[in-house]
Amino acid sequence: MDDFLAARAQMALSLGFHIIFACVGMVMPFLMAFSHWKYLKTKDPVYKGLTKAWSKGVAILFATGAVSGTMLSFELGLLWPEFMKHAGPIFGMPFSLEGTAFFIEAIALGFFLYGWEKFNKWFHWFCGFLVGLSGLASGILVVAANSWMNSPSGFDYINGEYLNIDPIKALFNDAWLPQAFHMTVAAFCATGFAVAGVHAFYVLKNKNRVFHFKAFRIAAGFALIGAFGAPISGDIAAKSVAVRQPIKLAAMEAHFETEKGAAFVLGGIPDVEKEEVTHAIKVPKVLSFLAFNDFDAEVRGLKEFPKDEWPPVAVTHYAFQVMIFFGMVMMAIGAIYLYAHFFKKDWLTKRWFLRLFIVAIPFGYIALEAGWTVTEVGRQPWIIYGIMRTADAVTPMPGIQYSFYFFTAIFVSLALVILFLLKRQIKMVPKLYDPTDPLFEAKEKGGVA
């Protein structure tokens, strides 16, 4: 493996890993705060147990998010020093604000976890809610850094120099709003479905049924925001890509020829040599409509651009298809849930219904990773779109492949350990978190009684 490829692979792996925990950190606290609010309103101790169980999950995943985020902030420099040398002062603004948000998040979490019965109950509740708010803020801010790479602004690029730097303009770049909106909704989608599915599993197995059913309902409610919001916000994102990065749109759609009334390509195998897609289902005119709100608008094809500026077409195209497919599936599941909620309450506990959610556990995360692949791979060969090539940004240090193997090993083992740990948390539900269970013991180690 050459150094350049290794560096890209390592970056992708680290980000792909971090994003999972980042999304949990953005959404889980809201689930927790919602359940906490229910407890404060209803005084039902099951909600209290649920809040505590979820807060432990938040703590574990928060720490992993923090650890992987710390790695990222170093890796940006370790792998892409040339990029950071020029980009740091321009797009660094969101990172410094993000720092503030993280700090608040960490402090609020400290208050929340160790503050049961110590503070005014609404102050305590607010701390939990604040964890979510600041997590959300940091996610939205850090996306600004990424959207800047897609849509660089806030500086003039003259003779290879970066002049008239304005970090505030860079922060408010064109891609930020659509990307941040879509990303936030996607986080709700992914985390909501994952959590709902896990609890559906325990309802199905008839373990601590009341406890898990309550959890399932809350999580599924949040998943709905994502299930319907993702396609809507995705459409907005697509329209913005069409304007900013026509070549990325063309790669997403494996769209080689410039044409009016362009067809939307479903599936298919892009052949970059022959410059065509085979075995695809083409829906006439829909691409033009999706991209420009006009069935006859012209959509530029890949052939209009020099070939050395093409992103990897196949990867971008497949990733886009995967995201759309799972997005549609989750929207359908969401629709079924809504129908059941309003018209067929008894469906909610039916085996097939719960199974549906269990199967959907990974769907949101698959769509999420696929979406990031579209964004990042679709930007290639640029690290700063139209300004700096990724190949020029990489560190001169040789032997990055070993670093890649090493980090891969770390991530794989971290992932295994976390799964193991979360499983053990759930195993302890009867004893620690569900007050209606005969095994329940109120006292717990670590002071979080």
Site of interaction with other proteins (CB under 8 A): 56, 59-60, 62-64, 66-71, 73-74, 76-78, 81-82, 84-86, 88-90, 92-93, 95-97, 99-100, 102-104, 106-107, 109-111, 113-115, 118-119, 165-168, 395-399, 403, 406, 410, 414, 417, 421, 424-425, 427-428, 432, 445-447
What does residue 274 show for φ and ψ, rounded to 5 degrees? Answer: -85, -10
Q: Between 12 and 328, whose beta carbon lies closer to ligand HEM?
A: 12
Nearer to other proteins, 210 or 417 (CB): 417
CA pair distance 198, 191, nearest whole angstrom: 11
The number of beta carbons lying within 10 Å of the beta carbon of residue 37 is 16
Nearer to other proteins, 119 or 292 (CB): 119
Q: Are 165 and 90 in contact (CB under 8 A)?
A: yes
Pick what 8 binds: ligand HEM, ligand HDD, other proteins, none; C-beta below 5 to 8 Å, kind-dependent.
Answer: ligand HEM
| Site stretch for ligand HEM (CB under 6 A), options 204-212, 221-229, 279-287, 372-380 | 372-380
Interface residues with ligand HDD (CB under 6 A)?
150, 175, 179, 182-183, 186, 189-190, 230-231, 234-235, 237-238, 241, 323-324, 326-328, 330, 364, 367-368, 371-372, 374-375, 378
Question: Considering CB distances under 5 to 8 angstroms, the limit depending on partner class, which of other proteins, ligand HEM, ligand HDD, none binds residue 97?
Answer: other proteins
Q: Which of 80, 74, 73 is nearest to 390 (CA)?
A: 80
Nearest Cα to Cα of residue 321 among 260, 280, 284, 285: 280
- Nearest approach in angstroms of CB 430 to other proteins is 11
Q: Give me the 95-134 binding string for ligand HEM, x by CB under 6 A, dash otherwise.
A: -------x--xx----------------------------
| Residue appearing with tokens 């879509």 | 182
Our finding on whether 61 is near ligand HEM (CB under 6 A) is yes
Q: Note whether 186 and 366 are within 8 A (CB).
A: no
HEC assignment per residue over 234-273? HHHHHHHHHHHCHHHHHHHCCCCCCEECCCEEEEEEEECC
Q: Note whether 135 binds ligand HEM by CB under 6 A.
A: yes
**Cβ of residue 440: shortest distance to other proteins, in angstroms?**
13
CA dihedral (434, 438, 441, 442) positive or negative: positive
Q: How many CB atoms lie within 10 A of CB 278?
A: 10
Q: Tell me how far, at minimum, the Cβ of 429 lies from ligand HDD, in Å.
A: 27
For position 139 contacting ligand HEM by CB under 6 A, the verdict is yes
Q: Strand 264-271 and strand 276-283: pairing?
A: antiparallel
CB 201 within 8 A of CB 169: no
Nearer to ligand HDD, 113 or 225 (CB): 225
Closest approach of other proteins to the CB of residue 93, in Å: 6
Q: How far is CA 442 from CA 119, 430, 438, in A?
A: 20, 11, 11
DSSP secondary structure string for all residues of 70-132 = HHHHHHHHHH-HHHHHHHHHHHHHHHHHHHHHHHHHHHHHHHHHH-TTTS-HHHHHHHHHHHH
96 binds, among ligand HEM, other proteins, ligand HDD, none (CB under 5 to 8 A by kind): other proteins
Residues that bind ligand HEM in the complex, under the rule CB under 6 A: 8, 11-12, 15-16, 18-19, 21-22, 24-26, 61-62, 65-66, 69-70, 72-73, 76, 80, 83, 102, 105-106, 135, 138-139, 142-143, 145-146, 183, 369, 372-373, 376-377, 380, 383, 390
